Amino acid sequence: MKEGKENEWIEPLMNDLRKLEEAQQAEVPRQYELMDTLAEFKRKRKKAWKRELAIFIFTALTILATYFVVSLKMPAVFLWVQVLAIITIPIIYAAEKKRRRSLNEVLDDGF
């Protein structure tokens, strides 16, 4: 008699599980879809690499110019550069963060 009671709830449960499995069947992507996705990823990485290279070169030139100004003992120019850097760095950071959010990129704030 116990087996009859067990079957009463096992069969509906198994039917429900089959329905869930059928609903969750994912379609296998075609080769051209995978290739398009890969090509898009490569384009984005190349664009990001160029942007990062430009930022690196700009930063290196800024540091070089700062050392040049300090070596020539021009404190007024050095102070102006420092003030401009303090003003522009948060603006650049906010713009970059907004751009990454709009592209749904993963943000790495270093935390």
Where exactly are the structural domains of the chain?
29-102
Distance of CA 46 to the CA centre of its chain: 14
- Model confidence over 4-55: pLDDT tens digits? 566 778 888 888 888 888 777 777 889 998 899 999 999 989 998 998 999 8
What whole-number distance in Å separates Cα of residue 15 and Cα of residue 17?
Answer: 5
pLDDT tens column, 76-111 = 877 787 888 889 888 988 888 888 787 765 555 554
- Provide long-range contacts, Cβ within 8 A and 24+ apart, for 76-84: none
CB 107 within 8 A of CB 97: yes
Residue 56: what pLDDT? 93
Q: What is the model's pLDDT at position 111?
A: 45
